[in-house]
Structure 1
Amino acid sequence: MSTDWLGSLVSINCGVTLGVYQGAVSCVDHASQTISLRQPYRNGVRCPVPEVTFSAMDIMELKFQDIQNTVKRSSEQGSATEPSFISAGAHGQSNRATNDSAHSSSAPITILRRVPAGSSNSRGAAHATQRRNGLRSAGARGQVRSKDDECFGDGTDEDLDTDFDFEGNLALFDKAAVFSQIDGTSGHSNKVQHQSAQAEQRPQSYRHDQNILEGKPIIYRQITVPLHGGKEYCTDSGLVVPCIPFKLHKRLLEAAEHWGLSVKRRLETIGVCSSQMALSLLGGPNRLNPKNIHQKPIVVLLCGPHSQGAQGVSCGRHLANHEVEVILFLPSFVKMDESVTREVSLYSRTSGVQVASVSELPASPVDLVINCLGSHENPQLREQSWYQSAADWANRNRAPVLSIDPPVSERTVEAKWTLSLGLPLPLAGNESKLYLCDIGIPKLVYQEVGISYHSPFGCKFVIPLHPVQ
């Protein structure tokens, strides 16, 4: 009957260690209880040998692939059961076999159980095999195996009698290739050169703040003046901003007024920009919000009866419109400039307070003092008593001072910040931090007075300036 199964396609499961084999039956030996497969596949991979022989005790499960032919042959013989060669020990536990990698020739191999002769482990292995077979048969009858056998009994004795194939494993190690890499041979150097060439061909990477478009080199000195004031400053981006003398500054304002930038429009621009800077110095949204109405900032404006004083009054009007408590000091016993009168009239429509005496100013420190006492046209004002009293009060109040467009020789009030208009003036001994305000003078107006001008303001109307060392 063994010849009836020759040529049948079968699948033999030999456990996790040996794997699953598929192939055609080439030989069935009842005496030795073995079966041979030709052109076998192990775990889906073609075996390097033409034939493999299995012992019945290594086979855990045997399946026929060509079911129709198998059933036909079995029915002709009057039996539909398994072949007789696997009747004894067909479900034995798989043990690792010797599968030497050196046996890669075409000669067939036999997978059999190897137990050294006279080994003390043979009796224990046989007992373990019988015990496992008994457990499997008991499990087939529906009985539950013990917890120890489930956790530790299955597969613990499989690898105890397996010899490691040192020669086969060493044959897989290519010493020449490894030492050639260590010694840095020509192949290694060629690989390094190839990698360096690829790195050169790879496009350059850029940071998030770098421009990927190629452009002209940056010119940092974009403003040139016919009359230099003797000092130079630079912006945060590195653009150079030179100082100009007051005579050139006056000619610039006259040219701008000729083209429509009147004093009224200029005062409004200066008032908006200076008030915005003052709001930032006071704390911005952290200080001015609906939830902080009990801590409104207090600002004192010290203004004179001239155009510089009118700039301070315009700034105070915008601050009062933003819910800042503004106190305006302006002497009433001196002749007022026409621009000051207009600004005071508009300021009176706000919630701001106006005083004419220094004694009416707060004795306690305030949040900010804005100084607009000095005049470019009339420097003798600083010798008058009201001027000196107001300056002394500002210096004693211990509040930070912001000076808007101070005269060149202004040293009476110690300011922490100074705001210049258009282009800075060479302030004598100025130790305060300098800021520059864009008052809206067009570029061609600068050119009329001989100034080559490119705006250094960027996206802002007030920028800080740093002295050039």
Structure 2
Amino acid sequence: MADRWIGCEVVIDCGDVLGVFQGRISEVDTEDQTITLVDFYRNGVHSQYPHLVVSSQDICDLKILHTAEDLEKSSHNQVDHCLNKTSNITETEESFSSPAKVEEHNKRRGDGRKKITTPKKIEGKKRLTERDEACFSAPVDSYILEHEFDFEKNLALFDKQAIFEEIEAHSKPDVVRLVDINRRQTAKYRCDENVLLSEPVTYREITVPCVVEKEYVTDTGLVVPSISKELRSRLIEASDRFGFSTERRLEMAGRAASEMVLQLAGGNHRLNPQNSHQRPTAVVICTSHQQGAQAVNCGRHLANHGVQVTVLHPAVHEAEDLWFTKELKLFKLTGGKTTSSVADLLPKTVDIILVAIDEQLETYEVKIDQHWYNSSHQWASHCKAPLLLLDPPPEAKTISDFEPKWILVTVLPSAFPSSNASLYLCDLGLPGEVFSDVGIRYASPFGSKFVIPLYNKDS
């Protein structure tokens, strides 16, 4: 009774854990209540095991797809079909062994019917079909799906060095290969660097005949040493002898300082014809000496460019500095305001304050009124506008009292104490012969600018 099920193709559902099996029954054991399947699939994947024994306790559902008789009839029909197809192909090959017979048969069949393909085309299509079946019709093994692919193990089997050596051995010497190009380490240049080789840069091009208390560096790495007050006095005297008078130096210092202030006050964003209602405002606090004359000169250039400038200075006497009074008269020609009292300053917003109270060659106690100094300092502190100190000596009291944001010095810097202020250097246009006269080996660190920032070399 159980033998009639042998050879049937069935589908057995064994639940979510075991899965669904499809195969052909090879044996039915009535005593153990088991069914043996061969050539079976589990969950649609062909198994690598030869047979499978399924117990009746695990079977949830069983369906018979084909009986043994159906499968036998189907196999006989397939064999007969293959034999007929083979005989037809053989007859076609014998009948159309020459192109003349093919053409004669096509004429006999008529133009409206499909022409018979030559054996060459049949063989070509057959080869393509066999190639596709060999590539895409391979059964998926369950072992491949259940186990992960070991990439490291398979990568270790590939000897890259041996492959590269083989390529180099068979390559011609005059052929530039892509592998060689990728291996080369080419230098990368910025947009402002020169591709052509040049002489190495000498970063210490300025030497001074005095004790260097402090060294500074520029943005490009050039070293700028500090000079003593004595060497600075000798340098000013040498410039006078060579024809670079005080008037020339005042104009250069004021011109360079005004350029710096214009940029700090907003530049073109604040100074253009379409923005006349937001013109920057500057206040110059100075006394009657050469540093004060430089500040007034700077105020004159600022006023000529549309900045609203007010000069605050103590009362000027006839015995005061001649250059200061001359620069003050030129400043008044611009329409700028001058005052000796802090009370005359309007209580409005100030963009920047220029301070030139201390002199390089003399101490401020001799030249300044203490009451005026205290009131000026109090007003600047209350205003809270950023301050620029113009060419002060390193021991200037205004550095600690006014707490400037920027310090602008001329010619060469002095050894300033450490502070929160940023140090800038101004070019007065003195030629190298003037520096050589006092024993200074000098090369301009300014490049394309007239004002450059300086940084402490140790920081």
TM-score by length of 1: 0.64
1:93–1:436: structure 2 CA closer, same or farther, 3 Å change rule?
farther
Equivalent position amino acid for 1:327 in 2? T
The 3-state SS of whatever aligns with 2:335 is coil
* 2:377 is the counterpart of 1:391: yes
1:94–1:364: structure 2 CA closer, same or farther, 3 Å change rule?
farther
> Where do 5+ consecutive residues of structure 2 fail to align?
1-90, 137-154, 172-176
Any conservation in 2 of the 1:96–1:162 contact (CA below 8 Å)? Answer: no
Any conservation in 2 of the 1:30–1:85 contact (CA below 8 Å)? Answer: no
Equivalent position amino acid for 1:189 in 2? E
Shift of 1:86: 2.3
1:389–1:85: structure 2 CA closer, same or farther, 3 Å change rule?
closer
The 3-state SS of whatever aligns with 1:164 is helix
1:104 is aligned to: none
**Cα distance in 2 for residues equivalent to 1:185 and 1:400:** 66
1:254 is aligned to: 237
Q: Give the percent of matched residue pairs that are identical in Structure 1 and Structure 2.
A: 37
Shift of 1:54: 8.8
> Which of 189, 199, 213 is 2:165 aligned to?
189
1:168–1:231: structure 2 CA closer, same or farther, 3 Å change rule?
same
Any conservation in 1 of the 2:285–2:311 contact (CA below 8 Å)? Answer: yes
1:64 is aligned to: none
* 2:410 is the counterpart of 1:410: no
> Which of 205, 220, 224 is 1:222 aligned to?
205
**Cα distance in 1 for residues equivalent to 2:417 and 2:120:** 106
Equivalent position amino acid for 2:307 in 1? V
1:302 is aligned to: 285
**Cα distance in 1 for residues equivalent to 2:456 and 2:115:** 88
Higher helix proportion = 2
* 2:440 is the counterpart of 1:451: yes
> Which of 108, 111, 115 is 1:87 aligned to?
108
Equivalent position amino acid for 1:405 in 2? D
Shift of 1:439: 0.4
1:90-117 C-alpha deviation (Å, 9 max, x unpaired)? 55457988xxxxxxxxxxx554599xxx
1:158-199 C-alpha deviation (Å, 9 max, x unpaired)? 99x9842479989xxxxxxxx9x9345755324268769944
Shift of 1:391: 2.3
1:200-233 C-alpha deviation (Å, 9 max, x unpaired)? 9979454233322222222211111111341111
2:130 is aligned to: 164
Any conservation in 2 of the 1:96–1:113 contact (CA below 8 Å)? Answer: no
> Where do 5+ consecutive residues of structure 1 fail to align?
1-28, 38-52, 57-82, 98-108, 115-157, 171-178
2:218 is aligned to: 235
Runs of 4+ in 1 over 6 A off after TM superposition: 29-33, 94-97, 166-170, 200-203
Number of residues paired by the alignment?
338
**Cα distance in 1 for residues equivalent to 2:454 and 2:227:** 15
> Which of 272, 279, 286 is 2:262 aligned to?
279
* 2:395 is the counterpart of 1:374: no
1:118 is aligned to: none
* 2:324 is the counterpart of 1:340: yes
The 3-state SS of whatever aligns with 1:459 is coil
**Cα distance in 1 for residues equivalent to 2:225 and 2:116:** 93
5 Å-filtered alignment, 1:410-429, equals: 410-412=396-398, 413-429=402-418
1:346-387 C-alpha deviation (Å, 9 max, x unpaired)? 111102111111111233441110001111233113562222
1:256–1:113: structure 2 CA closer, same or farther, 3 Å change rule?
closer
Equivalent position amino acid for 2:358 in 1? G
1:54–1:430: structure 2 CA closer, same or farther, 3 Å change rule?
farther
1:407-451 C-alpha deviation (Å, 9 max, x unpaired)? 221133221001010111122344300000000111121111111
The 3-state SS of whatever aligns with 2:285 is strand
Equivalent position amino acid for 1:191 in 2? I
**Cα distance in 1 for residues equivalent to 2:161 and 2:281:** 80
The 3-state SS of whatever aligns with 1:418 is strand
Any conservation in 2 of the 1:308–1:374 contact (CA below 8 Å)? Answer: yes
Equivalent position amino acid for 2:437 in 1? E
Any conservation in 2 of the 1:33–1:85 contact (CA below 8 Å)? Answer: no
1:313-334 C-alpha deviation (Å, 9 max, x unpaired)? 1001000000110001122254
The 3-state SS of whatever aligns with 2:350 is coil
1:27-73 C-alpha deviation (Å, 9 max, x unpaired)? xx999874745xxxxxxxxxxxxxxx9957xxxxxxxxxxxxxxxxx
**Cα distance in 2 for residues equivalent to 1:292 and 1:94:** 88
Equivalent position amino acid for 1:210 in 2? E
The 3-state SS of whatever aligns with 1:301 is strand
The 3-state SS of whatever aligns with 1:87 is helix
**Cα distance in 1 for residues equivalent to 2:290 and 2:267:** 28
**Cα distance in 1 for residues equivalent to 2:101 and 2:390:** 103
Any conservation in 1 of the 2:303–2:309 contact (CA below 8 Å)? Answer: yes
